[in-house]
Amino acid sequence: MAKIEMKMPEEFLLKLSRLGNKTDEIIPNVLEAGGEVVLSKAKSNLSSVVGHGTKTKSRSTGELEDSLGLSPAKQKRDGSGWDIKIGFAEPRSDGDSNAKIANILEYGKHGQPPKPFMTPARRQSRNAAIEAMKEKFDQEVERI
């Protein structure tokens, strides 16, 4: 039988030992830091596609852009990890669903070509979000 022994870097072990039982306070802050980066990119992408390239004059009210937001970080029900979500507040003033309108905008429909804004936002902000979360984690650990 083979045996493998891995040694963690001392700096990483010191950070982990300092966390103790503070992880439930730190994780939401770290996720929110990364979520803010992705949210700002998604809002930027959304405002650049809404009302552009249409055959008729845009009827955009800005309500879809205003409803885009970040949920609080929550632990999964099974306790296996944490989630934070970027999505749309409901309902709209006209009774329609923001999620439905965003889905049509992202993927298109018959007679309306897709204008993706969420998928590119996720792709384009991935590295920046990871860096923001690393920085926030280091700040939180230093604060302890």
Which residue type is seen at 8?
Answer: M
pLDDT, tens digit, for every residue of 88-109?
988 888 888 999 999 989 999 8
- 68 beta partners: 88
| Better-predicted residue by pLDDT, 26 or 39 | 39
Structure tokens at 122: 């996720």
List the chain domain ranges: 28-50+62-143
Does residue 13 have a pLDDT over 70? no
| Better-predicted residue by pLDDT, 97 or 2 | 97
Contact 117, 101 (CB under 8 A): no
R_g (Cα) of the chain, nearest Å = 20
pLDDT at site 53: 65
Does residue 141 have a pLDDT over 70? yes
Measured CA to CA, the distance from residue 136 to residue 141 in angstroms comes to 9
pLDDT at site 78: 86
Q: What is the pTM of this model?
A: 0.79
Burial of 141 (0-12, 13-18, 19+ CB in 10 A): middle
pLDDT at site 1: 40
pLDDT, tens digit, for every residue of 28-82?
898 899 999 999 999 999 988 887 666 667 666 778 889 999 999 988 888 777 8
